[in-house]
Amino acid sequence: MSEPIKMKAPKIILVHNHPSGDATPSTQDIEFTKMLYEVSKTLDIELLDHLVIGNQQYTSIFSKMINQR
């Protein structure tokens, strides 16, 4: 979160790739996103989404968490 803080970013979107090519978020991805979502709220930075990319596809982790936020 250091870069968004330095930039005074009001909102961010996280993106990372899965070298396997499978864009399905792992359990660790989802848990990490939940933690970052809470941290970003305390920093007054809105986490808009976290995307996983692989094999020319992407998956929104927020779409997987929609009922959990």
Task: Grade residue 66 by pLDDT with cuts at 50, 70 and 90.
Answer: low
Task: Grade residue 63 by pLDDT with cuts at 50, 70 and 90.
Answer: confident
Say how far apart CA 38 and CA 16 lie, in whole Å. 19
CB atoms within 10 A of CB 69: 8
In the chain the domains, ranked by start, together with CATH numbers, are: 2-65 (3.40.140.10)
Beta bridge partners of 8: none
Whole-model pTM?
0.85
pLDDT tens for 8-62 read: 999 999 999 999 999 999 999 999 999 999 999 999 999 999 999 999 999 999 9
Cβ-based neighbours of 19, under 8 Å, separated by 6 or more? 54
Say how far apart CA 59 and CA 57 lie, in whole Å. 7
Helix count (H) and strand count (E) of the chain? 3, 3
